[in-house]
Chains A and B, each alone.
Chain A
Amino acid sequence: MNDAIDMPGGPACWMVAVGFLAGIAVLAVRLERVQIDSAADSRRRMAVQSERRVQTDAPRGRIIARDGSVIAGNRASVSIAVNAESFQKRTWSDTAAGIREAIDAASAVVGRPSPVTDRDIMRHLKQTLARPLVVWRDVGPDELARFSEHELDLPGFAVVEREERVYPNGRLAAHLVGYVGRDRAESVAGDEAFRYCDMEMRGRSGVEYYYDGYLRGVPGERRLLVDARGFAHDETTIVEAKRGPDLELALDLGVQSAAEAQLEGHKGACVVMDAATGEVLAFASAPAYDPNEFVPVLRKAVYEGLSKDPAKPLLNRASGGTYAPGSTFKPITALAAVHSGISPSFTYECIGYYQCGKMKIRCSRTWGHGPENVMTALRDSCNPYFCYLGTAAGTNAVVSAARAFGLGSGTGLDFPTDAAGVVPDDAWKRDRYGERWFPGDLAQMSMGQGMLLATPLQMARVAGALGTGLLATPRLIAGMAPELKPLPFTERELGAVREGMRMVVAGGTGKKGAENVDAWVIGKTGTAEVGAGATRRKNTWFIAYAETCEHGADGRPRRAAFPERRIAVAMVVENGESGGGTTAPKVCEVLKSVFGTLGPEPSEAGKEDA
């Protein structure tokens, strides 16, 4: 080796080498800190800048009727969208111009100009750059075929599918089912967590609204990788969206159609309820609307047309329309009186009117019914009898009987609209009108007029309770545990009222309410007068309770010991003639849809009997 004794720099060689190793060691230690100790932090910061979480819409559960047919389902809706990353230019305006050009070129292929404006494109670039921009929504099969044929010539365009709500039965049960709208989704996991959320379907009314959380399902998650400018780079599905479960309603489409057919051309409502369980079998409100018009978005013109229609098709009359119950309230007055100690055979002579102070309340038969008891008064719907009976029982008795039947408060229906109605008393009247309770008010209330208000749903419940002695909480969902509350009346008291109501359909005011129905039926008519002078009109009611019957030797329905089905019906028709004339025959048809029709022979026997 060269050991030139004199040659300098020997120590420098190993000093430098040691220095190199020391320097590398310093770097290694630093790298250990950056790459090992703060790796998780760096990954997080990387994710914050390059990852965008996208909440994806879950398909909505279907709404199904009792027989399994679909009332609210989903259909695939195809859209054509454009992805901005295929048009990246140095400036945003050049990028936007490129997209515009591509959309115009694609319009020629699809055969429909796109509603996307230049402003939409700029807004998309600023706000939702990493997501596809929908150019044509709800593309038809022809347009899709033309697009697919030229798809290779249209880089950057893609077909996007999503599910839209569809109501196969159109108007049928529209108010019950409700409708959906699309809205900016609420981020499930906090505000920052999701950068983009699909517009999600949300129930806006009816069952769609009430059971929205159940139907909605669990949103999925996708992760977008974006580059430094924000363009999408890659996309992966992290969590698949979970379809919402189907909701099975108690609704019986046969009964529902029958009820709606009867209300066709009228304004009114009909509720049919299983009196034993509270399950709602029909829930009709007329006029109705087609909920399909609300999907995917409710157009302003459609909404204005519906909301300005004087017939108020958007109003849900079944549980949101409050009407004076009229004479259908009389069984309650009767129960209040009987319960307060008045005998059902108590006789009062109807002379055609009832004098209450200066007020004269007229009876439907101007010359009077003559002597009446509770049963015959129900049969004849005699006003003076019930004015007298109610007055004799007193305000407290009538009010508490009305409340025992669930009037004056919501029914507890699993539904957004559940009007309470009004059961007036002294305190209510003072609060509302600043006026004390007069005997005339009690007389009016005793025959279901005055300030008393109830919904068809409430009255169906009343009918059911009169039949079974149990007040059922109405339910829209099939198979829920029934909630039944016993009425504070004895079987004997109820029996007297049932006898009266049986006489109503057997030959009284409501004899058209149960003609040829293969069931044991009791009912009550009601003709409530509303307004005064020129706006004076009549809302006509019929409520009925019917149960499966046995047939006697003559073939006539006879009450069974253990009836299989117990049904309550309430129907109101606005601006009718009379409860017995207008509404009772309609209810009769609804009852037939449940129980069927009796053969011709018994019907003749029935007529002879009447």
Chain B
Amino acid sequence: MDVLRRVNWVQVAAMLLLVAIGTTCIWSAGNAREAAFHGMWKANLRTAALGLAIYAALAWADYRKVLQWVSLPAYAGALVLLVAVLALGSEIYGGRRWLWFFQPSEISKLCIIAFLAQVFGMKEPPAWLRSVGGFGLGCALFGIPALLVLMEPDLGTALALAPAFLVMLLAGRVWRRGITALLVAGALGAAALLGAVHEAERPGVTPERREAILRHVPLKPHQLKRVKTFLYPDTDPAGAGYTIRQAMIAIGSGGFAGRGIGKGETNSLKYLPPSISMNDFIFCVYAEETGFVGSLVLLSLFATLCVSCAWIAWGAADLRGRLFALGFATLLFAHVYVNVGMSVGLLPITGLPLPFISSGRTFLLTVMAGLGITQSISIHKEEET
């Protein structure tokens, strides 16, 4: 069959392997714990099965139709949900991220990318779309939901979306100067922020001066603490620095070959509490149990998955497909990089899940749906519009 030839099997294989690893990871992390966690791998498998169905359906469907008919309502719906979660969401660990049984910010990631692809990948774009006007529109389409997400507060999601947004603008040939300005501003902003916190929290700084500097830093207290812990990891090993310290110990004690599946002590002895050891810090559990070898296998699978998406983007039939595939690949990569990066102390702690491995169900479905659309771009690349 022609369709089967056009399917990107590398992506399918990488995805299935990641689902397998993720389920094993959750099985292992849960089994070492109390009975309440023992069945979590089954729930993950059920979600993955649902995800596969969505994946197959979206891959089968023509992505052009999906983007054309679904992206705008999805985007609008996402905005409504993001507002709703701020108003109605249940507060957990100091943030409003949950609406009933799912996290709108996870779904909104896909909706934003789909809608940006639909807008900037339109077939005969007006001239303004590639210049300042288009840049402004893009900033608005990205900025509004990003701001809503930031208000939850979910800095991680906003940060993970930003590179995808920039890559899409870049690939869509939208006003280069604006993109450059955004990049420069972002870099300067980040540098200024880190510099200010670094200066304010330096040992020996008077409280008055610290206050004076931090008054200009637009961070919430818990975020400030995370940046501080990132800059000075050893200052408070029992308090703010506890998590990252335990994360580093866990990953490090995996060594070359790891302790063996189910034998990680960080998780079984609860040095990382289950609320994070099965979610944002699951990489630590994985790395401790499988070692450097396992970490490399996992990173290679993620690299394969992301590059396969870029490959699909390269071969896409139209700009819409290319932009979506690139945007989604970047989003996926940002999650991997930020999550693993924070676990190994390269980045400050941000609450971003590791695709396929973390136990979040909303995000697993979102990622598989996104991959489904990407697969559709591969399958439908030779068809006429």
Contact = CB atoms under 8 A, between A and B. Distances in A.
Interface string A225-240: 1111100010000000
Contacts of B299: 24, 27-28, 31
Which among B248, B310, B341 has the highest number of chain A CB atoms within 10 Å? B310
Interface string A3-25: 01001111011101101110110
Contacts, number: 148
A2 B256 contact: no
B292 interface: yes
Contacts of B270: 227-229
B139 interface: no
A34 B248 contact: yes
B348 interface: no
B171 A13 contact: yes
A32 B287 CA distance: 11
A85 to B, nearest CB: 12
Contact of A31 (B170, B307, B313, B344): B344
Contacts of A8: 171-173, 319
Nearest to B381: A2
* Chain A interface, >50% SS class: helix
A17 B255 contact: no
B330 interface: yes
B252 A34 contact: yes
A370 B323 CA distance: 138
B37 interface: no
Contacts of B224: none
B194 interface: no
Interface in B318-345: 318-319, 322-323, 326, 329-330, 333, 336-337, 340-341, 344-345
Nearest to B173: A8
A4, A16, A41: most-surrounded residue (chain B CB, <10 A): A16
A43 interface: yes
A50 B268 CA distance: 11
Contacts of B318: 2, 4, 7
Given A31-B251, A36-B256, A39-B252, A20 B291 contact: no
A42 interface: yes
Contacts of B41: none
A35 interface: yes
* Most chain B CB atoms below 10 A, which of A1, A24, A226: A24
A34 B326 CA distance: 31
B333 to A, nearest CB: 5
A239 B336 CA distance: 44
Given A2-B316, A46-B265, A7 B255 contact: no
B251 A28 contact: no
A490 interface: no
B287 A35 contact: yes
A16 B310 CA distance: 7
Interface string B154-174: 000000000000010011110
Given A10-B314, A14-B310, A31-B344, A233 B269 contact: yes
Interface of A: 1-2, 4, 7-10, 12-14, 16-17, 19-21, 23-24, 26-28, 30-32, 34-36, 38-39, 41-43, 45-46, 49-50, 225-229, 233
Leading 7 A-B pairs by shortest Cβ distance = A42-B252, A9-B171, A12-B171, A17-B310, A39-B255, A8-B173, A227-B269
18 contacts: A2-B316, A2-B318, A7-B322, A13-B171, A16-B171, A20-B310, A24-B303, A27-B337, A32-B292, A36-B292, A39-B253, A42-B248, A46-B249, A46-B250, A46-B265, A50-B271, A228-B273, A233-B268
